[in-house]
Amino acid sequence: MFGQLGTTELIIVMVIVILMFGVGRIGRIAGELGTGVRSFKEGLQGIAENEVELEETK
């Protein structure tokens, strides 16, 4: 699906997104997305550490 999009099409899509949301809001959304991904990774590490602790106690 995305493999068929060329550079021109991607630029047009980006311009439309910038016009809809604005540069400031896109930056804020990207920051929130990064924070969410970081929290998700920390949660996965916490689960892995808990599993190791459970195996050690058995």
**CB–CB of 18/26 below 8 Å?**
yes
Helix or strand run (H / E) with residue 30 = helix 23-57
Contacts 24+ apart (CB under 8 A), 28-34: none
Higher confidence at residue 45 or residue 57?
Answer: 45
Tell me: the pLDDT tens digits for 26-43?
Answer: 889 889 999 999 999 988
Residue 7 confidence (pLDDT): 87
pTM, two decimals, is 0.55
Domain spans of the chain, in order of start: 21-58
CA–CA separation, 55 and 7 (whole Å): 51
**CB–CB of 21/29 below 8 Å?**
yes
